[in-house]
Amino acid sequence: MATDLRISNISKIYPGCIANDNVSLQFKSGKIYALLGENGAGKSTLVKILSGVVSPDNGEVFLNEKNLKLSSPLDAKKNKIGMVFQHFNLFETLSVFENLSIDATEDNESLRVRINEILKKYNFSIDLDVPVLNLSAGQKQKVEIIRCLLRSPKVLIMDEPTSVLTEQETEELFISLKKFCDEGILIIYITHKLKEVLSLCDEVAVMRKGKVVSVSQTQNERVETLANKMVGQKLAKIKKKINISKNKDEIFKVKHLNFYSDDPFETNLVNLNFSVKKGECLGIAGISGNGQNELFQILSGEIITPDTSIIFRNKEIAKLNPKQRREYLMAFSPEDRISQAAVPELKIYENVALNNFKSSNFFEKGLVNEKKIKEHSKKILSDFSVNTDNVELKSQFLSGGNLQKLILGRELITAPELLICYNPTWGLDVGAINYIHETLIKINDQEKSTILISTDTEELLKLSDRIAVIYKGKLSKIMPSEEVTPEKLGVLMGGGSID
């Protein structure tokens, strides 16, 4: 039986924000639909309404002309609506089978038979009895998909599904989604990767400021037209200049970096050696969970490792903490903007004050110079196009893109010689990504250096001069970016080797 999902005049209002403004859309099985929009466009709220996490203020949802009351995720499951979230909801120390049996309604023997049938049907290669923490990101995602398939869904919603996958795992996912579609499952695909939309989806709906502004066939679209619809204006094309750095001085050098931990959720690092030249961007690729977080913490001084040598501007800094490294003109932009880079409950100018450089004059004779901090904050908001001029605003009310601009601005306004950033555009919309990329390119144009640790291969290929891949705590050889392809990166990120 064909599936028809209809969203009729859905509205959801939060204090000071219309998240969904009279949204109406219709989806039918046999097609893969993309839902696009900037941060704050309303797509996340709409999907939460469909999955029962949020209730609308007005409007209705119909599945095959049945008016659904989706008051909880359980209601969505009962009505055959499944969702695979961007961040996996799995217990890492339990086995695959134990995870799948948690909310199952049948006995373990019958459940195992059904799971094995799904594995065989879709050619999924997963050991049901290994702990989830031993699986790759692609395998974990398949476990989440199997959990949905066990309920025989009519609708499957995929939220940013390729954000942690290799090129090969992404191809495997697309094959699976097309097979689900052919079998009559209605698929709604949420992503900020526009090329994926064009290669996978049949139709695309674009949301902006809570409203649906466009519904079209993907065959009639290009990356540029979709990007322009999302942001409501034409985006500038970004291209990095070729950096001839052969004869330039090394500004940063790491030798014999090792890190060992007894924590099963941390990754050991094994004998990492690399250097960065003046004006260069060194990209470090890898699937999330292969040691990037530990590497960032060591490079920023959050973790001090014995016997490691870190040379910056001809000085040994391996035993310095983050504040001391900043005073040597290093800067850091961590992956987690909320818990590592900013305090949401603090005002903008208070977050700016967290970086107290000797040259900032934020504190005089033991007293806070609030006027100086606010002047400094206003300059950051202006110089880095943060969408507010109110330094008294709490940071929690900034969008992801504006918060990231504030963090980068706070780091860069001190004119550091080296910026180390980890997934700087994670979860951002196309407009914010464009701005951050422009900023990173400008840094290199000014003969400053960057280390870009990222899970986004497209971003790395666009911004890096040289690229290495980290896999299970080991670093590949460093390659000139012009010699690297997405396919090569995908092989290395999956643990393979290339000639």
Tens digit of each residue's pLDDT (9 = 90 or more) over 146-163 = 998 988 889 999 888 887
Instruction: Tell me the mean pLDDT in the region 177-201.
Output: 89
pLDDT score of 89 = 83
Would the pLDDT of 265 be above 60?
A: yes
Tokens of 17: 């924000």
Domain end residue (candidates: 204, 231, 258): 231
208 lies in the same domain as 254: no
267 lies in the same domain as 224: no
169 or 448: which carries more pLDDT confidence? Answer: 448
Cβ atoms of 61 and 54 closer than 8 Å: no
307 lies in the same domain as 422: yes
pLDDT score of 419 = 93
206 lies in the same domain as 267: no
151 lies in the same domain as 268: no
pLDDT score of 495 = 80
Asked whether residue 335 is domain-assigned, the answer is yes
Asked whether residue 359 is domain-assigned, the answer is yes
24 lies in the same domain as 73: yes
Confidence of residue 411 (pLDDT cuts 50, 70, 90): confident
Would the pLDDT of 188 be above 90?
A: yes
Would the pLDDT of 16 be above 70?
A: no
Confidence of residue 228 (pLDDT cuts 50, 70, 90): confident
Least trusted range by pLDDT, from 94-103, 129-138, 168-177, 397-406: 397-406
pLDDT score of 299 = 94
pLDDT score of 8 = 94
Instruction: Tell me the mean pLDDT in the region 166-177.
Output: 84
141 lies in the same domain as 288: no
Asked whether residue 241 is domain-assigned, the answer is no
Confidence of residue 242 (pLDDT cuts 50, 70, 90): low
This prediction's pTM: 0.69
Q: How many domains is the chain built from? A: 2
225 lies in the same domain as 278: no
4 or 227: which carries more pLDDT confidence? Answer: 4
Mean pLDDT of the chain: 86
Instruction: Tell me the mean pLDDT in the region 278-288.
Output: 91
The domain of 477 spans 250-493
320 or 387: which carries more pLDDT confidence? Answer: 320
Asked whether residue 288 is domain-assigned, the answer is yes
223 lies in the same domain as 294: no
Domain end residue (candidates: 199, 231, 263): 231
Asked whether residue 331 is domain-assigned, the answer is yes
Would the pLDDT of 378 be above 80?
A: yes
Least trusted range by pLDDT, from 236-250, 256-270, 463-477: 236-250
259 lies in the same domain as 347: yes
Confidence of residue 470 (pLDDT cuts 50, 70, 90): very high
Instruction: Tell me the mean pLDDT in the region 314-320.
Output: 91
Asked whether residue 104 is domain-assigned, the answer is yes
Confidence of residue 247 (pLDDT cuts 50, 70, 90): low
What is the helix (H) or strand (E) element at residue 6, kind and residue range? strand 4-14
- Rounded CA-CA distance 470/494 in Å is 10
pLDDT score of 241 = 65
pLDDT score of 364 = 74
- Rounded CA-CA distance 455/284 in Å is 8
pLDDT score of 425 = 85
Closest CA to 247 of 278, 274, 281: 278
pLDDT score of 358 = 58
Instruction: Tell me the mean pLDDT in the region 183-198.
Output: 88
> pLDDT tens, 328-367?
889 898 888 777 888 888 898 888 888 765 556 777 777 7
- Rounded CA-CA distance 73/81 in Å is 9
Asked whether residue 142 is domain-assigned, the answer is yes
How crowded is residue 228: how many other Cβ atoms within 10 Å of its Cβ?
Answer: 15
Q: What are phi and psi of 244, to 5 degrees?
A: -90, 95
Q: Where residue 471 sits, what CATH number does that domain have? A: 3.40.50.300
Give the 3-state secondary structure of residue 194: helix
pLDDT score of 266 = 83
CA geometry: angle 331, 333, 337, nearest 5 deg: 145
* Dihedral in degrees, nearest 10, Cα atoms 286, 331, 340, 159: -40
Closest CA to 177 of 189, 167, 194: 189
Alpha carbons within 13 A on the beta-carbon side of 177: 28
Confidence of residue 200 (pLDDT cuts 50, 70, 90): very high
Instruction: Tell me the mean pLDDT in the region 243-259.
Output: 81
Would the pLDDT of 499 be above 70?
A: no
pLDDT over 90 for what percent of the chain? 40
- Rounded CA-CA distance 365/440 in Å is 36
210 lies in the same domain as 350: no
Tokens of 493: 């990120």
pLDDT over 70 for what percent of the chain? 94
248 or 273: which carries more pLDDT confidence? Answer: 273
Instruction: Tell me the mean pLDDT in the region 63-72.
Output: 91
The structure tokens 């038979």 sit at 113
Q: What are phi and psi of 102, to 5 degrees?
A: -55, -50
pLDDT score of 356 = 65
260 lies in the same domain as 184: no
Asked whether residue 383 is domain-assigned, the answer is yes
